Amino acid sequence: MGEILKVHGLTRHFGGLAAVMDLSFGVQSGEILSLIGPNGAGKTTVFNLITGTLLPTQGEVVFQDHKITGLRPYETTSLGIARTFQTTSLFYDETVLDNLIVSYHCRTRMGLWDALFQTGRSREDERRCCQKAEEILKFIGLSERASEFARNIPQESQKRLALGVALVTEPKLLLLDEPTGGLTEEENIGMMGLIQKVRTRGITVLLIEHKMKIVMNISDRIIVLNYGQKIAEGSPQEVGGNSAVIEAYLGVGYGKN
Amino acid sequence: MVLFFQQMVNGIMLGAAYSLVALGLTLIYGILHIPNFAHGHKYMWAAFTSLFLVVNFHTNYWVSLVIAMAVLGLAGVGVERLVYRPLRNVPHINSFIAAIGLLLVLESLSLIFWGADFRRFPSLYDKPIHIFGVAITLQRLLVIVAAALFIILLQLFIKRTWLGATIEAVAQNPEGAQLVGISIDRVSSLTFGIGTALAAAAATLIAPIFLVYPTMGSMPNLKAFVVIIIGGMGSIPGAVIGGFMLGLMEALGGGYISTDYKDLFAFGALVTFLTLRPTGLFGKGVR
Amino acid sequence: MNRIAGKWIILAILVIAVIIPLVVTNKYYMNILIMSGIWSIVALSLNLILGYTGQVNLAHGAFFGIGAYASALLMLKLKLGFWLALPFAAAIAGFFGFLIGLPALRTRGSYFAIGTLCFNIIVTLIVDRWEGLTEGARGLMGIPGPGPIPLPWGGEISFKTMAAQYYLVLCFLLLTIFVLRRIIQSLVGRTFRAIRGNEELAEAVGISAMKTKLLSFTISCFFAGVGGVLYASYIGFLSPELTDYHVSFDALIYVMIGGVGTIVGPIIGTLLIVTIPEMLHIAAEFRLLLYGLILIVMIIYLPRGIVGWIKGLKGKRRQEVVWEKS
């Protein structure tokens, strides 16, 4: 057990505004760490900085003891960091199964030559893609929807599929951005169960979530952001009683002490 | 030395011309996010319209300018309704392709109606006057003056009038604008009308300097796009500065380096800009 | 349409295609068919970057022209035979595609379209003005056709007759279809579609957008070059207009009308556009008018083209939008 991800002094400015300011934290291997905070606190920006969608103005990101600051998203994914997006992002023109198949591409080795001449390697890779896709399809519980188009399936299935797409890339660290967005109470529970199943596979989870019930139930640790800065860090109990946190959410005057 | 000043003056005139054409284009792109690739061909139709009026009906040059602006402005509104409005909620590249179709329609109609011949636009202002040894025709001066005038008028319109404010509102936040009761349809029509009218003004002013023919709009169209990409799509100051930069670059480059390859400057510049700074001088950076 | 019926239809079409020169002896019609074949190759190649990878490339005419001019120069100045010149010229077109793709593919959507269009203009300008290399506006003349292929049992296949040239083009068309189909149906093809559908997500699942687009673009330009070589050899004469962006627009129309993102679409589009106006003897200006109107109507009401529309009727795909929101 060690720190699978470390973030040092991470800062990102947009024009004059600091979306993230001097943020440092670590993610323990195998844990579920939740990132919470009011709207606009910079949580998705942190994800973007980790995956490489955005470049930090300052600071660095270290993944498994390798500096990954400035790498592009496809490179961080190859290294083992996968993510979902706050607004569900899928290949809508493709079927559920095809969504999963293409997402395994980064773990294959075939190239143009293999495709043209249908070499052993290409057939092997294509078989592995299908195999992996089927496996994840079962894992996320969408086996019946395999040949439906992603744009036609219900919201909850889309969220599951997005999770599946990220899982197919065989990540060691999974960044989930509001995986229960728009889901009902019942669906929340289903998604929570899925996230816990993910952890049993040995995958570390970094979670952005608004629904406090889920956060308190599922997290090993919580980090609270406000205006791009860390204002609290600790176990759910520690954070729940923290006055700065309460103030951030409910306004000045509500915090005790 | 005189050559330098001569080229500078030419460059300024070219720059004014490009700015004027680009102005309408950047307005439409900035507000509606539609890359109106048929802009140059509407410009061409405006030139033919005023030529037609002046030659066949002996209309006063300035009257024909106003009429051309009105006619093309209305045509712009019509085009927006028929072609671009159905494509409003679909990726912008589809509008680009529709614009290509429109371009072909306009060009072919021009060939059918007017034929492929190059025509001269009779001008009252083509006697050159000499200032400090530099020769310039009154027409060219007019282009510069008119461009400046239109730029100022447009800025005033956008910033000082209520209609202009609605246009800006839609540009910045279409949903918000709708919530406060602004009709996107109206604003779209208005923007297209104004943008096309500006192109019409540019065409009538510039036509007497060069020749009038069905494909006369292609180059100005492309160069206008170069201008707004360099200046930043949707920025009026960008269109002006980009236009003058391009005009000067072409005039000086053409005069000193090579007339054969002078068109290359525009496109070389564009390619460079797209590679290094795709959002233009006044746009926001990426990543 | 079930698989077996589909296979019989393809077989029937192939048979018809092979029999045509034996039945049609009119040179005029044969010419139309040969030109359709050449343009189909160009349209198919454009479809790879446009239909499957979702990037609207308006420089295709330039690569067609580069392939044509490269082969002509190789044959005329370096005295290479057709069979050697073809792969080299196509490779040169592909290489230029790679070079131009490197800067151009850093942009997207309309910016990419305009950028490629400008590249096209630059190429046309250079071909037109660099008289030392290309004879400029005078054009290149006397480009030889393919040399005869000796047969192992004596005798040879010569390409002097129209029928022979028709078969030559047909063979290359089939080869193009075969190769492109292999690529599209492979994992590589899936990555192209991923870029088209959702570039951000594609990057998030480990697909390098730049590398994928560059690959697609280069292959596309290679085959455009093949079309160019066939054209140069068949017509025997080249002028800078062949690299002009109007060629790019033509290719765009063939693909959009037939159907982006399908194999058969571009071929049908090309056949329709090349043959029908020709047969009806429609004048050039009216043809242009027709193309423009059709393009507008298609992009608004049938963005997936005729073939896409038919497939949609059968419930296979049901979207109006061709590319993701950018």
Name the interface residues of C facing B (CB cutoff 8 Å). Answer: 56, 103-104, 106-107, 109-111, 113-115, 117-119, 121-122, 125, 129, 249, 252, 256, 285-289, 291-296, 298-300, 303, 320-326
3-state secondary structure of A39: coil
CA distance C298 to chain A (A): 20
Residue with tokens 């596309």: C220
* C182, C201, C208 member nearest A89 (Cβ): C201
Please check whether the domain covering B2-276 is classified as CATH 1.10.3470: yes
For each of the domains in chain A, give its residue range(s) and CATH number, in order of start: 3-250 (3.40.50.300)
**What's the pTM value of the predicted model, to 2 decimals?**
0.90
End-to-end CA distance of chain C: 34
* B87, B104, B226 member nearest C295 (Cβ): B104
Mean pLDDT comparison of A22-26, B1-5, B242-246, highest-scoring range: A22-26
Say if residue B45's pLDDT is above 60.
yes
pLDDT in tens, A237-251: 888 778 777 777 766
Query: Best of B25, B32, B83, B104 to disrupt the C interface by mutation (most C CBs within 10 Å)?
Result: B104
Quick check: A71 contacting B, CB < 8 Å? no
Q: Do C285 and B264 touch (CB under 8 A)?
A: no
CA distance A176 to chain C (A): 12
Phi, psi of B98 (to 5 degrees): -60, -40
Quick check: B287 contacting A, CB < 8 Å? yes
User: What are the domain boundaries of chain B?
Assistant: 2-276
Contacting chains of A (3 CB pairs or more, <8 Å) are B, C
What is the chain A residue with the closest CA to B287?
A: A54
pLDDT in tens, B169-200: 887 887 888 888 888 888 888 889 999 999 99
* C106, C249, C322 member nearest B100 (Cβ): C249
Q: List, in order, residues 6 or more apart from C265 with CB less than 8 Å away.
A: C47, C51, C255, C258, C259, C305, C306, C307, C308
Instruction: Note the pLDDT of residue B29.
Output: 84
**CA C92 – CA C95 distance, rounded (Å):** 5
What is the chain B residue with the closest CA to A71?
A: B287
Q: Do C204 and A102 touch (CB under 8 A)?
A: no
Phi/psi zone of residue A59: left (φ > 0), alpha (ψ -120 to 50 degrees), beta? Answer: left
Residues of chain B by 3-state class (helix, strand, coil), percent to 5: 75, 5, 20
Say if residue A150's pLDDT is above 50.
yes
Say if residue A62's pLDDT is above 90.
yes
Instruction: Note the pLDDT of residue C305.
Output: 85
CA distance B51 to chain C (A): 21
Instruction: Note the pLDDT of residue A64.
Output: 93
* B35, B105, B264 member nearest C125 (Cβ): B264
Q: Which chain A residues touch C196 with a CB distance below 8 Å?
A: 93
3-state secondary structure of A60: strand
Instruction: Note the pLDDT of residue A243.
Output: 77
Query: Best of C248, C260, C288 to disrupt the B interface by mutation (most B CBs within 10 Å)?
Result: C288
Other C-beta atoms lying within 10 Å of the C-beta of residue A106? 20
ipTM of the prediction: 0.92
Phi/psi zone of residue A118: left (φ > 0), alpha (ψ -120 to 50 degrees), beta? Answer: left
CA distance B232 to chain A (A): 17
CA distance A238 to chain B (A): 36
Number of alpha carbons in the 13 Å side-chain half-sphere of residue B5: 9
CA distance A246 to chain C (A): 34
Walk along chain C (326 residues) and give the pLDDT tens digit of each residue.
556 777 888 888 888 888 888 887 788 888 989 999 999 999 999 999 998 988 999 999 999 999 999 999 999 888 888 888 999 999 999 999 999 999 889 888 888 888 899 899 889 988 988 888 878 788 888 888 887 777 777 777 777 888 888 999 999 999 999 999 999 999 999 999 999 999 999 999 999 999 999 999 999 999 999 999 999 999 989 999 899 999 999 999 999 988 888 888 899 889 888 888 777 777 777 888 988 999 999 999 888 888 888 877 766 544 444 454 33
**CA C100 – CA C63 distance, rounded (Å):** 10
3-state secondary structure of B270: helix
User: What are the domain boundaries of chain C?
Assistant: 27-246
